[in-house]
Structure 1
Amino acid sequence: MSRVPDQASNKNSRQENEGSWIGELGRTIFLSIILALGIRTFVAEARWIPSESMLPTLQKYDKLIVDKLSYRFTNPQRGDIVVFSPTEGIIQENPNLKDAFIKRIVGLPGDKVEVRGGRVYIDDQPLRENYIEAPPQYLYGPVFVPEDSYLVLGDNRNNSYDSHFWGFVPRENIIGRAVVRFWPPNRVGELN
């Protein structure tokens, strides 16, 4: 004698399977969102270049990965390309500017920085710069970089809204260091 399946039992079993599938999907989506927000907040995030101020190193619309973790353990170094929040000097001049900036660190805390004769001088020594678009056609300084601050310049020195206009970047404004270009595909790679 064969047993006829109980329809109520079959229905409950189906609801449990569907419920567990929907519940699992919900938990997976929730966990993915939490992980993505955590990574973006504390580890790394993608950014794009809105201007030509970093030519020739970075071109307009390049897309980068910004490392937000390493500066929790080390200090920014001369030559690092950093992303930072607008400084008080920027906000005073342009209250509507709220987007992050990207520039190269040139002056470290305590450095004497001067721009003259188409060269940048750090503590009266010319800085070797094989990454700039053209020699700077302006005079700046000498200035001393304050403690816990940095002097940043665009690689396109003559077309960059940078420290020589609005001053120094406090350490707490630095979001992270640009480490990898991931777009466009023909120029993917690590940034030096």
Structure 2
Amino acid sequence: MNDDQHPTGTDDEVAATSPDGPEGLVDSDAAAPAEPEVDDVRRGLPLWQESLLLVGAAVVLAVVLKVLFVQAFYIPSASMEPALVENDRILVQKPSYWFGGEPSRGDVVVFEDPGGWLGADEEVEVTGVRSLLATVGLYPDGGHLVKRVIGVAGDTITCCDDEGRLLLNGEPLDEGDYVAERPEGIQCDGPMISTCNWSAGPVPEGTVFVMGDNRSDSADSSYHVCLVGETDCTDNPYIDTDLVVGKVFSVVWPLSNFGLVSGEDSLSDLPDAD
């Protein structure tokens, strides 16, 4: 090779073998500091910072799930036996009632206390760490009730026929699949009050009429019906649909009771009120 001849290859190749490159030229690509890789940055975080990020992401996800999709509750009384047993932990899904959807007959729903419906055994105060977990949907909170929807807007509910069955728009209800067995001395499926002779409805628009499956131990809509002749009664047996949190779809604890909770087709299939 002659002294006047340049080495073969590109300027970049020359710069890579000579610090100053030919005739003092510097390769800009080789001289610029390398950008740190994302993985390098992540690996550079201390363990405690990574832990905080993971906890923060979990809390945000839990809040989103609670607000939009699923919320946990527990059963504080025997009012929904046999379907739901006292101290069961349940999950409630909310999307069913999005975009104008409303509860249907037979749905098992959780709703906010409209005022004065919770009994002494159902008033549970959640405090301390449990209160924080309840805020983000990781622990069941109080102030709510769970019942089955019996009547929707326009329906009339009457107690009872000669067999002790409720009547919905004049049609007797076959509730043997989900209503608790009547205790001795109870003659009908609407006996939380002192009579088997009452009527409610038509159910106003935007409300529902709800009852517990354990009819002799459930302070539900029937308990708040104003009976004929009660001139000073101010009770309201109907629940605003705006107070309904969602529909119960699963029991998750204890494991011995684990399973899905479905609505009751025998109610939903009944004809609407005229």
Using the alignment, how far apart are the partners of 1:68 and 1:78 within structure 2? 17
Structure with bigger strand share is: 1
Q: C-alpha displacement at 1:19, in angstroms?
A: 3.9
**Is 2:220 the counterpart of 1:162?**
yes
**Is 2:129 the counterpart of 1:112?**
no
Give unmatched runs, 5+ long, in structure 2. 1-41, 124-141, 183-187, 225-236, 263-274
Residue 105 of structure 2: which of 68, 78, 100 is its match?
78
Q: C-alpha displacement at 1:139, in angstroms?
A: 2.6
Instruction: Decide whether the 8 Å contact of 2:117 with 2:220 is kept in 1.
Output: no
Alpha-carbon distance change, 47 to 142 in structure 1, aligned in 2, over 3 angstroms: closer
Residue 139 of structure 1: which of 176, 187, 197 is its match?
197
Over residues 83-141 of structure 1, what are the superposed CA-to-partner deviations in whole Å (9 max), with x where a residue is unaligned? 000114638x99x9671000000001111111114211111011221210134233321
Aligned letter for 2:107? D
Q: C-alpha displacement at 1:21, in angstroms?
A: 3.6
How many corresponding residue pairs? 176
TM-score, length of structure 1 as denominator length: 0.82
Aligned letter for 1:181? V
**Is 2:151 the counterpart of 1:151?**
no
SS at match of 1:78: coil
Residue 101 of structure 1: which of 129, 145, 154 is its match?
145
Using the alignment, how far apart are the partners of 1:116 and 1:17 within structure 2? 71
**Is 2:115 the counterpart of 1:45?**
no
TM-score, length of structure 2 as denominator length: 0.59
Q: What value does the CA root-mean-square deviation take over the aligned residues?
A: 2.5
Residue 169 of structure 2: which of 98, 106, 123 is its match?
123
SS at match of 1:50: coil
Q: C-alpha displacement at 1:144, in angstroms?
A: 1.2
For the pair shown, which has the larger CA radius of gyration, 1 or 2?
A: 2
Aligned letter for 1:131? Y
SS at match of 1:175: strand
Q: C-alpha displacement at 1:47, in angstroms?
A: 1.1
SS at match of 1:144: coil
Using the alignment, how far apart are the partners of 2:45 and 2:93 within structure 1? 40
Using the alignment, how far apart are the partners of 1:142 and 1:171 within structure 2? 17
Structure 1 segment 61-72 matched on structure 2, within 5 A: 61-72=87-98
